[in-house]
Amino acid sequence: MKQTSFKPTDTGNFRAPVIAILVSLLSYSALAQNTLNDWLAQAMASNPQIAAARQRWEAARQKIPQASALMDPMVGAELMRDGATGFGDYDMVEWMVSQPLPGFGKRGARRQAAARETEAAGLEYLETIRSVRAGVIASYWTLWAARERERLAREAVAVAEQFEQAALACCEAGTGNQSDVLRAQIERTTLEDERITRSQQVRVARAAVNALLNAPPDTPRDTGDPGQSPEALPDPGVLLERAAGNNAMLVARARRVEARRALLKAARREYAPDVEVFAKARQPRGGGGIQEYDTGIALNFPWLWRGKTKGMIGEARAELAAAEAEYSDAANRLSVEILDRHAEADAAARRIGLFKAEILEKTRQLVETSLAEYQAGRADFFALLDAQREAIRVEAEYIDARAEHGRAMAGLNQMTTLLADHEKEIKP
């Protein structure tokens, strides 16, 4: 698996390249692209999920110097007495300083574990950015589809009003009947209720966008027109191969496996004795300067109580096995999700092509033909209603297919976009 390192160096340089990669993945019309660019920039600056993930990464960075630091030195003094019992009655002061030193390799293993954990936190920060980005794009398509469905509902109400007028005209001319007028009125009322429902869905979809941008729910959002046809869909095998080394969350799992290996190494190093070096200097009371001093070294004896070290090694080994299993599970679930999103995008793209090539135009012609035949007395009102309902259903499915394709592609991009130059700034 391709390994990508992350280093917490100059974090101020990270935002601009991330925004650049977000922009490069969009393939919509100029207006929609500009809209998304603005939304993505606002999400980068204001989204609380991104802010929280960044602070978790910052917190993880602070653990590296802690892991590699020496233990605190000890400084003290001892009042030495010869036959005296009073606290202030002493003969000599013995000054002491000592420094514990961990056994060979312990600091390095702990630092390596902290560094790998920091990489994982950095990758999770980047995954949060990519997840929010995908959420913004998906919410764009949901809001666009909700507005298109609302537009379709308004147009359907207007058409139903025309049908009602046509039924009235035919009834007055003797070629229709009152039941057709009643059916037209029922259809118009039903469609008006549908329009209200679609309007409410627009409000919910707009609130979802604003939540990602950390803005008030009713902040106006203009989606524009996506314009272009769906982008080309890569082969699923290519996506799976790309995700293996570039999915931020999966690579984060790999870093945690490496961190657990380092912790196991550190646990095994507990058998190495720690060293403490010390120096003592004695100063007689009232005698001026120091007259004598001693130096020494001491070792702990980690082999005596072996149960503690064995327990640490067993714990570290179990945590490593758990991390490896979690990585395998994440890889398996990622493969399924990629294939599922690919299937969704492919099915939506095929439906879009089919609708644009034939079905949309034919259903519109069907409505026009049915209305003309009804007005000429060659068809009943049921045929006209069925034609209009079919036209509404087909256009609604076309709208939904475009939105489904956009959301599926956003998810695929999130899971498979290359870990490239925009992420190289984060390295421990």
Q: Which pLDDT value is given to residue 12?
A: 36
CA 122 to the chain's CA centroid: 12
Residue 229: predicted pLDDT:
62
Between β-strands 275-284 and 292-299, what pairing exists: parallel, antiparallel or unpaired? antiparallel
Please give the full DSSP string across 234-276, using - where no structure is assigned: PPHHHHHHHHHHH-HHHHHHHHHHHHHHHHHHHHHGGGSPPEE
CA distance 212 to 224: 19
Query: H or E stretch including 79?
Result: strand 74-80
Distance, CA of 356 to CA of 181 (rounded, Å): 33
Structure tokens given for 60: 């993880």
pLDDT at 21: 31
CA 280 to chain centre: 57
Q: How far is CA 139 from CA 147, 149, 211, 347, 421, in A?
A: 12, 15, 10, 20, 27
CATH number for the region 11-70+107-271+306-423 comes to: 1.20.1600.10
Count of other CB atoms within 10 angstroms of residue 256: 25
Cα dihedral sign, 324-333-131-134: positive
Predicted local confidence at residue 425, as pLDDT: 45
- The rounded distance, in Å, linking the Cα atoms of 33 and 52 is 27
What is this structure's pTM? Answer: 0.78
- Residue showing tokens 């646990």: 267
> Can you tell me the distance from the alpha carbon of 61 to that of 342, in angstroms, rounded to the nearest whole number?
36
Residue 287 three-state SS: coil
What pLDDT shows up at residue 11? 33
Distance CA 416, CA 249 (A): 11
CB count within 10 Å of CB 2 equals 12
Q: What count of Cα atoms within 13 Å lies in the side-chain half-sphere of residue 388?
A: 23
E strand or H helix that includes residue 77: strand 74-80
Which residues does residue 77 pair with via DSSP β-bridges, in sequence order? 95
Q: Is the CB of residue 209 less than 8 Å from the CB of residue 139?
A: yes
Q: How far apart are CA 363 and CA 228, in angstroms?
A: 22
The dihedral of CA 413, 419, 425, 428: what is its sign? positive
Ordered per-residue pLDDT tens for the chain, 428 residues: 344 433 333 333 333 333 333 333 334 455 566 688 889 999 999 999 999 999 999 999 999 999 888 888 999 988 887 766 676 677 788 889 999 988 888 889 999 999 999 989 999 998 999 899 999 999 999 999 999 999 989 988 888 888 788 888 878 777 667 887 888 888 889 889 999 999 999 999 999 999 999 999 999 998 887 776 666 788 888 999 888 888 889 999 999 999 999 999 999 988 888 899 989 998 887 767 787 888 999 888 887 777 888 999 999 999 999 999 999 999 999 999 999 999 999 999 988 888 887 888 888 888 888 878 877 777 777 787 888 888 888 888 999 999 999 999 999 988 988 776 445 445 43
pLDDT at site 423: 53
